[in-house]
Amino acid sequence: MLRRQKTLNNNKSAIYAFHTALDQYLNYRRALIKKEPERKLYLAIPTETHNSFFNLPFINESVIEYGIRLIIYDAE
């Protein structure tokens, strides 16, 4: 299953969007564990977002801590 995140533009709205995406990701993952534990959930993010935002220490540490699986794609 895939949860796609649109580009995160500025830092304030990017942090808010990240928290929203993280909350949804964790809720979807919880539901999958209950219903279909063999399925894996991924968060898809554009390459630009990964390179600019997901390399920030706080964001990167959150991805590691919560075990978020990423799919990085070219949005163009």
Q: What domain range includes position 12?
A: 2-73
The CATH number assigned to the domain holding 67 equals: 3.40.1350.10
Residue 10 binned pLDDT confidence (cut-offs 50, 70, 90): low
> What residues contact 76, with CB distance under 8 A and at least 6 apart?
none
Question: What pLDDT score was predicted for residue 12?
Answer: 65
Digit-coded pLDDT (tens) for 19-62: 999 999 999 999 999 999 999 999 999 999 899 899 899 999 99
Q: How many domains does the chain have?
A: 1
Question: What pLDDT score was predicted for residue 7?
Answer: 47
Question: What pLDDT score was predicted for residue 28?
Answer: 95
Cβ atoms of 46 and 40 within 8 Å: the answer is no
